Amino acid sequence: MTASSDTTPALRLSATSYPGAIPGVALPAYDRDKVQIGVVHFGPGAFHRAHQAFYFDQLLASDPRWGICAVSLKSPGVRDALEPQDGLYTLAQLDADTTFRVVGSIQEVLVAPEDPPSVFARLAAPTTRMVTLTVTEKGYTLSAEGGLDENHPDIVHDLAHPREPQSAVGYIVEGLRRRHAAGLAPYAVVACDNLADNGWRLKAAVVAFAAKLDADLAAWIEREGSFPRTMVDSITPATDDALRARVLAATGLEDAWPIQREAFTQWVVEDVLPSDAPDLASVGVILTDDVRGFERAKLRLLNGVHSTLAYAGILRGHETVFEAVSDPALESLARELMTQDIIPTLTAPRGLDLAQYAEAILARFRNPEIRHYLSQIAWDGSQKLPFRILGTLTETLEAGRSIDRLAIPLAAWMRFIALRAKAGEAITDPLAEKLSALGVSATGEAKTDVAAFLALDTVFPAALAGNPTFVAALEKAYADLA
C-alpha cells in the first residue's frame, strides 16, 4: 500500500518512521544515535539544507563527529517543522531522473532568541570545530564600503550587550570569547553566502567587532582564526505544496518541510582549514588556494545573470527562470552579458574553461524539471546587485569598455521596484521602505528616476553614482526599458 492511499493517513517522517520509506529513497547511511555535534550552523534555510547539510550527511557515513546543530537567528519556523521529525527532512534532487534522499545530519535545531545559553554551550563545546553560515548578504551586517556596519541596529545592540547578541557576528564573537577564556582553539568559520571574498569580509567584521570589546580577543582571532573564503552553488527553488505532495508520493512519509534543488551541486573552500577540520574533500568539496577565481566566476556569471533574468524577465511578464531564458531576447542578453562583458573581467581558475562554464550555467537555467520563480531571485536586490553586477561594471568602466549592457540589470531593477510599488505590492528587501517610496514616486522619466535611485548610498558608492558615463548608460537603459 502506498501513502497516497486514502484509507491510511501517511506517517510523518521521523527517526522511527524513516526506515519504512518506499525503497529507492536514499536513507542516512549511519547510526544517527552515534552522531556527535561538531558543526554549528547559523541560518538553516533551504540553501543550507540543500547544500552543506547534504555534504555533512555524506561525511557522517565515515565519521560520526560532524553532526550539525542548526541555529535560527530569528524565526522558529525551521525548528517547528523539523523538531517533530527529529531533524530529518527529504531532499529532492531534480533532474530527468529525480532522486529523493532523507538527510540526517541536522541533529538539533535551536532558535537563538529563545535559548541563547544552549547556543553558547554548543559554540563553546570542545567538540565543535566548525561554524558555518548561510544568513544571506544582509546577515553579514557590512557597510557599503565592505567593513562592519557599526550603525546597523543589531550591531549597535550587540556592542552594548555582547553577552546577549542578536547578529551572526555577535554570536560568533561571544562563542570565540568563551573558547578563548576556556583555553580552547577557535572554531573555523565558514561563510557560505554569495558575497565576494565572503570569509575575509566576515573575518574583518568579526575582528572589528571583537576589537571594540577586548583587544586581546581581537588579536587572538586575527592570529588563530580560520575564515576560509568559499564558493557555494546549487539552484534551490523555494519549497511549495507541489513538492510536499511529490515527496509524500515518492517516500510514503509526510514531510512538513522538504527541500528541492537541482542535481548539480558544488562547494569550493579555500584550503586554509585547521588540520582537525572535517575531511570535506572526501565528500567532493574542492579545497583550493584559488577560491577567488571560482567565486568571482560563479557570482558574476551565475548570480549576475540570474538577477538580470529576474528583473528583466518580470518586466516582460515571465514567472520562472526557465521561461525567461526561453525568451530569445533575454537569452541573447544573458549570453552577451556573459561572453562580452563578464568573462573579460574574470581570471579562470585552473582547469575551468569560462566559455564552457557559462554555457553550462545557461543549460542549468533551461532545466525543465525546475520551476525557479524570478520573484524569489528578485528579493534583496539592494544587497545582491553590488556583488553581482557593480563589481563587473566598475572594472569594465575602469578598463574603458562599454557598460551599456551591464546597466540593463540595474535599470531593470529600478523599473521592477516602480512596477511593484505602484501596484501596492510588498518589496522584500532590507531597504523596502525606501525602495517603495522611490517606486511610488517614479515618474517614468529617466533623468529624475535614475537620480533618485542613485542617491541610495548603501547600494551605489559615491564615485560610481557621480560618474557621468555610468549615469548616462543607466539613463539610456532605463529609457529603453519603457
Binding to ligand CS2 by residue 234, rule CB under 6 A? yes
Q: Please report how many Cα atoms fall inside a 13 Å half-sphere around the Cα of residue 331, on the Cβ side.
A: 12
Residue from 138, 129, 146 nearest 205 by CA: 146
Cα–Cα distances in Å, from 449 out to 156, 374, 479?
33, 24, 10
C-alpha cell read off for 224: 588563530
DSSP-derived 3-state class of residue 233: strand
Residues linked to residue 100 through DSSP beta bridges, in sequence order:
92
- Which helix (H) or strand (E) segment holds residue 92: the answer is strand 89-94
Binding to ligand CS2 by residue 136, rule CB under 6 A? no
Cα 379-383-389 angle, rounded to 5 deg: 100
Size of the site for ligand CS2 (CB under 6 A): 10
**In the complex, least distance from residue 377 CB atom to ligand CS2, rounded to whole angstroms:** 4
The label of the residue with cell 583555553 reads 183
Judged by CB under 6 A, the stretch of 67-75, 301-309, 339-347, 462-470 that binds ligand CS2 is 301-309
**Residue environment code for 315-332, b if the CB has 16+ CB neighbours within 10 A, otherwise e:** bbebebbbbbbebeebbe
| Closer residue to ligand CS2 (CB): 171 or 294 | 294
| Closer residue to ligand CS2 (CB): 159 or 305 | 305
Q: Find out whether 131 and 190 touch, Cβ atoms under 8 Å.
A: yes
Binding to ligand CS2 by residue 303, rule CB under 6 A? yes
**In the complex, least distance from residue 99 CB atom to ligand CS2, rounded to whole angstroms:** 19
Binding to ligand CS2 by residue 191, rule CB under 6 A? no
Binding to ligand CS2 by residue 458, rule CB under 6 A? no
Binding to ligand CS2 by residue 193, rule CB under 6 A? no
Instruction: Give the footprint of ligand CS2 on residues 365-384 (CB under 6 A).
Output: 376-377, 384
**In the complex, least distance from residue 285 CB atom to ligand CS2, rounded to whole angstroms:** 15
Instruction: Give the footprint of ligand CS2 on residues 384-403 (CB under 6 A).
Output: 384
**In the complex, least distance from residue 303 CB atom to ligand CS2, rounded to whole angstroms:** 5
C-alpha cell read off for 208: 572589528
| Closer residue to ligand CS2 (CB): 384 or 415 | 384
| Closer residue to ligand CS2 (CB): 72 or 303 | 303
DSSP-derived 3-state class of residue 38: strand
Which of residues 41, 129, 246, 306 is near ligand CS2 by CB under 6 A? 306
Rounded Cα distance, 207 and 227, in Å: 11
Binding site for ligand CS2 (CB under 6 A): 194, 233-235, 302-303, 306, 376-377, 384
